[in-house]
Chains A and B, each alone.
Chain A
Amino acid sequence: MDWRQLWDIASAPDNVPIVGLMPLLAFYIYLGWKQARATDALIGELETSPAMAKTHHRKTWPFRPGWQKEVHVWPFLLRIEFLAAIIVTIVLMIWSITLNAPLEEPANPNLTMNPAKAPWYFLGLQEMLVYFDPWIAGVVMPTLIIIGLMVIPYIDTNPLGSGYYTWKQRKFAIGTFLFGFIILWVAMIIIGTFIRGPGWQWFWPGQTWDHNRLIYEVNRDLPDLFGITSNLAKAIFGAVIVGGYYLLGGFILHALFRRYNPKDYQRMSLLQYSIMMFFLLTMVALPLKMLLRLAWHIKYVWITPWFNV
C-alpha cells in the first residue's frame, strides 16, 4: 500500500477540488435520503388516516395550530442563505491563501505529460474514450447526455414528488438519475482522477504509478472474434448487434416497466415512451461496453468506415 502515492494524487493541486467534492457529494446524498425517509414516513401516515390529512399541510413536521402554513423568505430563508454565503467566503479565503495555482514549468510542446488528463469535469468523457471511439465518446454521447437531460421534463409524466424529497413516489426517476449520475458520471471521474495512471493504465489505489510498467492487454474487436474480415460484413454484423441490443433490451425494459411502473406506463404517450426507452438503453450501453472491455478486452462491436461503436 503506497501511501505516498495516494498522498501525491490527492494533494495534487488539480485534484484537491475533487477530493473536497467527494465528501460533499456523500453528505448531500445522505441529507436527501434522510429527508426522503422522513417525508415517506409522513406520506405513509397520511395515506392511512384521512383525519390527519386535513390538519397536516406541511410535509415534514406536522402542522400545529398557531404555526404558519407559509413563512416569509425574509428573514427565515435569507438568514440561512446569508450564513451559507459567509461560510463559503471563509472557505474561499482560506483556500486561496494556502493553495497556490498549480504552475508548472514553461510549456514545452516537445514534451507531453504522462498521463495527460483533462480537467475533472471532462475526465468522465476522457475515461469513456477507452470504451468508445472519439466520435461516439466525444461528440455523440455528450450531445445525447445534454439532450437527454433537457428532455426529462417532457417525458416525466409522474405528477408526484414536486417540492419535497421522496423516494417512494419517484422510484424510477430518482433511481435512473442516481444511476446515471453517481454510478456512471461520478464514478468515471473518480476512475479518471485516482485510478488512471501513466499510459492511462489501471492502477489500484495504493499502487505506485510506475512509468515503466508494461502490461499485456490486447484488445480485439467483436467481428474479429467471429472471424469476420470484410468491411461490409463487419458493418452488417455490427448493425445487427447494436440493433439486436436495442430490440432485446427494449423488450426486457418494456416488460419490466409495464410491471413495476403501471401508472407511468398508462400516462405516457408513445413518443414519450420511445424517447425514454432510447435514452435509457443508450445509457445502459455504457456500463455494458465497460464490462466488455475490462473483462473480455473487446474494443468495438460495430466497425464502419465512418464510426465505430
Chain B
Amino acid sequence: MPELPENDPVVSKSYALHYAVAMVLLIASLFWALWDEGWAQRPWIAYQKQWKERYGAFLKTAKSKSARSVSDLEKDSDYQKLEQAARQADAEAKPHRDALQKQIIDLNAKILAVQNVFTDKRAYANAITYEIETDPSASGKKSKQKDLDEYKKKVWTVEYPDGHKEKYDFRQLEEKYNELKDERTKVSAELADVLKPVTEANNKVTEYVSAHLVDLTPSQIEGLQKKTSEWDPTIQQINVAEANIVDRCESCHMGIREPLKLTAASMTPKGQKRPDEYAQAFVSHPEPELLKIHDPDKFGCSPCHQGNGRATTSVEKGHGNYEHWLWPLFPKQNTEAGCQTCHAADMVLVSGDVGWNISEGKDLFRQRGCLGCHRYEGYDKEPEDLNSVGQQIKQLETEKAQNSKQAAELMKQADTAQSNEEANRLNDKAIALKVSNSKIDGHIQQLDFQSHSLLQDVKKVGPNLKDVRLKLNRNWIPVWLKKPTDFRPTTKMPNFRLSDQQIRAISAYIWQSGFKDPLPKQNPGNAEHGKELFETRGCMACHSIGEGDQMQGGTFAANLTQRTRPYCPLEKKDIGPEDYAKKGLPYVFDLEHSQCPNDGHELQVQNMTVMPSLRLSVPDAQDIATYLISQKQQEPSSYPDAAFMEDPNLREEGKKWVRHFGCAGCHEISGFADEGRIGTELTAEGSKPIERLDFALYTEPAQRGTGKDPITNPEDLQRLPEGPSQMFTTRARSSLKLKSCACPIHI
C-alpha cells in the first residue's frame, strides 16, 4: 500500500505551474501563428516593400536625368517658338476667359439658390402625381388633382446670393431654373471656343516634348513616384475567367510592365555588389513589343512561361518547382518554348530579340531528318494522308465491285422474270446500282487527284535504297555503314555502332533487294562546262564540293536521279516494264503518265527527295555529271572486297536487322513500304515529367540520384540489374565498406 498523503490530492493538488507553462506556450504559439500568417506565408509583402524602396530610388535618379534632358530640350529653338506661341495664345485669351469664367461662377450661385427651393417643391409635386396616377378611385384622383393644382399655385421666395429676393410660383420656378441652366450652357460653350487656340498650342508643346524625349517626362516620372510612394502591399492578380488563368506573378515581379527599362543592376541597392533575389525579380519584361501584341491582361503570364500562377507562399511554389506541379517554369534558356503553345504551326517566330532559339530549333528539326525516326504532329503529314486516301479508295472499289455483282445478278433475274413489270423493276434496280457506281467513280477520281499531289509532296530523309545497285559501288556500302561520318562528316545518318556481322547482313539485304534494272547509258559530257554549271545553277546551295577547309557550298546534300521504277502504294509493289507490257502500254512514267497499269490509281513516279528540278537539259546534265565524276577522291578498287553481299543466306538476317534498326523510317527500302517510325513520338515529349518515365529497376537510383542521398547499402545496390555500377559519388565511394561486400566493382 503506497504512503497516504495528508491532504486529499484530488482537491489540494495545485495546477498553477501547469497553467503557467501552458499559457506561455499558448501565447507563444499564437504569436507564431500570427507571424506565420502575416509574413512567412506572404513573402510578396517583403518583395513589395523592397520594390517601394528600390524603385523609388531609381525614379529619383531617373527624374533628375529626365529633368536634365528636358532642360536641354528647352534650349531648343523650335521648342521655344512653340512655347512662345502658347504663352501668347494664353495672354490673348486671358481677359475674355476671365470674364466668362466669372459669369459662370455667378450663374452657378444663382442656379444653386433656385435649385434649393425648386427641387424640394418638385419632389413633393412628383409624389402627389404618383398618387394621382395610382389611385384606384376616380373621386380620389379628382380630389388629389385639386390638391396638386392648389399646391402649384402657391408662391415661394428665392434668395439670390446678391441679397435680393424674388417670389415665384411652381411654374415660374421651373422656368427660371431651366433658363439659368440654358444660359450657363451657352456661356460654357463660349468659353470652350475662347480656350480652343490655347489648348491647341499647349498640346503642340507637349507633343514636341514627348516626340523628342527618349524617356518619360519629369511630370510622368512624378506620377510614377506618387504611385510608388502611396503603394500599399496587395496581391496583383491577372484573372482571365474564360481561360481559367489566375496569375499572381506581378505580386513579386513588380517591374514587368513599368514604362521604364529596369535591369537587375539598376535595382540593386547601393553598396551591394551582386544583384540579390529582389533585384532579379524586379527586372522589366524583355522585348516590350511582345507585350503589346500579347497583352498580359488577356494572356496572363503562365500560358507562355508555365509555373503555378496562383501560388503566393514561396518562390518555389510560384515557379512550380515542386514535386506535384507538372508544369514548372521554363528555365531562362528555354523561355521561348512557351511560344509553341499557340504558335506550333509557325515556321519562323521572331519578334525583335526574341524567338531566334525556337525558330532555329524548328529549322534544325526539319533539316536534320529527325522525322525519319520520330513522329511529330503537324510535320510530314503526307504519308499518313496517303494512307487514309488509299484506304478510302480501297473501300470504294470494294463497294463498286459489290454493286456490279449485284447489278449483274439482278439483270439475270430480270431476263428470267415472270412478268414485264417485274423485269422492269429488276432492271431499274440494276440501273440504279450502275448509276451509283459511276458516282463512286467520280469520288475515286477525286481521291486519285489528291493522291497525285500527295505523292509529290512525300519526302524521305535519306536516299532511295532500291537504287543502290544503279548508283553505288557495291564494296563501298559496308564502309559507309561502319561509320557514315568518316566518309561524309555532314551526313544526317547517325552512327548505329553496328557489329561487323550486322554490317554484312544489312549490306547483303540492301544490295540484294535493290532493283536490277539496267542503268540507262549516258554520253560523257564536257567537264569544264559542267563545273561552270555546277557553280552557277544553284547546286551549291545544298551540295558541297571539296573536303575539309576546301569545302564549299551547302551541307544539305540529297540524292539526285530519276526514279528507277514507279511504286504502286495500293498494291505495295514496284511496277516494272512487264506490268506495262501486259496491258500493252509503253514503259513511260512521269507526272503526266502516273497511272498504275494494274489498278489505274496513282503511282509514285518521283524519288522522294527534296531536291528540286533545276530544269537542266540532258546535255547540261551530262556535263555536270561528268564534272562531278571527275572529282572522285578515291579509287573504287581501294575498298575491301565485299563479295558476301551476294550471299543469299545473309538476306533474311539482314532484313531482320533492317527492321530492328528502323532504316525504313528514313530510306525507301524494298519490302518495307509500310514500316512505321522506330522512335517515340515527340509531340508531347516536353510535357512528360520525369516521374512518368519508366526507369524499371533503376527507379530508386534515378530518384535518389548520385548527389546528396546516394544509395550506399550494399544489399540495395545488389538489386540493380547489372550489379552496382558507377552510380555513386566519390564521397559515397569512400564510405562503402568494400572489403565486406562481394560486389565486383572497379572504382
Contact = CB atoms under 8 A, between A and B. Distances in A.
Contact of A67 (B1, B8, B18, B25): B8
Given A61-B4, A83-B19, A208-B716, A68 B11 contact: yes
Q: Sort chain B's interface into a size bin.
A: 20 to 34
A83 B14 CA distance: 12
Interface in B1-51: 1, 4, 8-11, 15, 18-19, 22-23, 25-26, 29-30, 32-33, 36
A47 interface: no
Given A62-B4, A208-B700, A211-B699, A94 B10 contact: no
Interface in A65-122: 66-68, 71, 76, 79-80, 83, 86-87, 89-90, 93-94, 96-97, 103-106
Contacts of B18: 83
B126 to A, nearest CB: 59
Contact of B22 (A1, A4, A64, A87): A87
Interface in A1-54: 1-2, 4, 45
Interface in A105-153: 105-106
B10 A71 contact: yes
Contacts of B19: 83, 86
A68 to B, nearest CB: 7
B696 interface: yes
Contacts of A94: 29, 32
A86 B23 CA distance: 8
B341 interface: no
Nearest to A72: B11
A212 interface: yes
Given A86-B22, A86-B26, A97-B36, A71 B11 contact: yes
Contacts of A90: 22, 25-26, 29
A79 B23 CA distance: 14
A244 B172 CA distance: 112
Contacts of B325: 105
B697 interface: yes
A210 interface: yes
Given A2-B713, A83-B19, A97-B36, A105 B4 contact: no
Contacts of A71: 8, 10-11
A71 B719 CA distance: 66
A80 B15 CA distance: 8
A79 B22 contact: no
A232 B32 CA distance: 69
Contacts of B10: 71, 76
Contacts of B23: 86
Contacts of B36: 97
Contacts of A103: 324
27 contacts: A2-B713, A45-B1, A61-B4, A61-B8, A62-B1, A64-B4, A64-B8, A68-B11, A71-B8, A71-B10, A79-B15, A80-B15, A83-B19, A86-B22, A86-B23, A90-B22, A90-B25, A90-B26, A94-B32, A97-B29, A97-B32, A97-B33, A105-B326, A106-B326, A208-B716, A210-B719, A212-B699
Nearest to B37: A97
A213 B11 CA distance: 62
Nearest to B698: A212
Contact of A61 (B9, B29, B700, B713): B9
A83 B23 CA distance: 9
B709 interface: yes
A105 B716 contact: no
Contacts of A210: 697, 699-700, 719
Contacts of B326: 105-106
Given A83-B19, A86-B23, 14 more contacts: A2-B716, A71-B11, A76-B10, A79-B15, A83-B22, A90-B22, A90-B26, A94-B29, A96-B33, A97-B29, A97-B36, A105-B324, A106-B326, A208-B700
Contacts, number: 66
A1 to B, nearest CB: 8
Closest 3 CB pairs of A and B: A93-B29, A105-B324, A104-B324
Contacts of A211: 699
A61 B36 CA distance: 47
Contact of A93 (B1, B30, B697, B713): B30
Q: Which of A2, A80, A87, A90 has the most CB of B within 10 A?
A: A90
A71 B10 CA distance: 8
A2 B11 CA distance: 51
Interface in B661-711: 696-697, 699-700, 704, 709
B435 to A, nearest CB: 49
Contacts of A68: 8, 11
Contacts of A104: 324
A54 B325 CA distance: 72
A64 B696 CA distance: 74
A76 B11 contact: yes
A305 to B, nearest CB: 40
B689 to A, nearest CB: 9
A94 B31 CA distance: 11
Interface string A207-248: 010111000000000000000000000000000000000000
A105 B324 CA distance: 4
Contacts of B696: 212
Contacts of A83: 15, 18-19, 22
A223 B33 CA distance: 62
Contacts of A208: 700, 716
B33 A93 contact: yes
Nearest to A94: B29
A4 B709 CA distance: 10
Nearest to A105: B324
A223 B61 CA distance: 91
A97 B9 CA distance: 37
Contacts of A106: 326
A86 B719 CA distance: 51
Contacts of B26: 86, 89-90, 93
A298 B252 CA distance: 62
A93 B28 CA distance: 10
Contacts of A97: 29, 32-33, 36
Interface string A174-186: 0000000000000
